[in-house]
Structures are given as structure tokens and as C-alpha cells.
Amino acid sequence: MNEETVAKVLKIVVSNLKNKKITWRLGGSANLLVQRLELPVRDVDISTDDKGLEEFRYALKKYVIKDFYSEKIKGLSLICNINNYEVEINSYEDKDKNYFDKIKLISWHSINLPIIPLQYAKEFYKKIGREEKVKLIEDYLTNQQK
């Protein structure tokens, strides 16, 4: 997915939420992309709590293709197909992976998005064993300081 495609998909997600008060944040490569890291984005990852997952389930019902408990993440998961792109919405049982207290709201492509800042995204990736993403963020942050 390129930046324009990610923006189109996120606009659909946000517009379907209709300003509901849901605790959620953008995650994964899309979160890094909106913070100016250049990398391929395979899907859009969103983290929420169980109440938020219920709201997403209802708001995006016409897009949901899979609704299940994921052993991989140890939590509830929705897989949506939006314009032939995958959106994965997760509610982790391990609340240490949420980082909801670290959310920062930004405007990107005229969309208000709750993101997880890079220093916390790096911590998250360490927790889930994604060392290549940890290194990518570290390299980006080091280059920004130069």
C-alpha cells in the first residue's frame, strides 16, 4: 500500500466511526508511515480495547471478513477488507501492549488519527520480538538528530 492508499483506507475507517468515543490507536507499518518513515505497508493495524472492538465490529460490519480470537496476539481480532486492502483490528489481553496512555493525536491527509509516537512504537516492537522494526525506528530517530 502506498501513502495515498493508506490515507483512503483510513478515511473510510474514521468516517464509519462517526466520531464515536472509542479508545484506539494506529499501529504497525501504517503508524510508522504517517510519522514519515518510508517503508512498505502491507495492511493497516489498529489496536483497541474490548469495548472498542465491539464498536469497530458494528461500524465496519460490511467490511469484516473474519472475527476471531487470535492465539498469535492472545486477544480478539477483526480482519476487514476495505477496497481490497486488509485492516486488522486487535484487542490485546496483555494490556502492556496497548500504550493507550501514550496516544498522540495528529492530523495526516486531513484525517485526525490517534498514533503511538515512535519511541513507544519501538518499545512495542521490542515486546513482540520485531527487531527489524526496532532497528528501523532507531536508525530513523538517529538520522533525525543529525
Q: Cell match 519511541: residue?
A: 119
Whether 144 is covered by a domain: the verdict is no
> What is the pTM for the complete model shown?
0.94
CATH number, residue 41:
3.30.460.40
How do the pLDDT tens digits run along the chain, 146 residues long? Answer: 999 999 999 999 999 998 789 999 999 999 999 999 999 999 999 999 999 999 999 999 999 999 999 998 889 999 999 999 999 999 998 888 899 999 999 999 999 999 999 999 999 999 989 999 999 999 999 988 77
Whether 21 is covered by a domain: the verdict is yes
Strand duo 104-108 + 85-92: pairing: unpaired
Tell me which residue range forms the domain holding 71.
3-117
Displacement of CA 118 from its chain's centroid (Å): 13
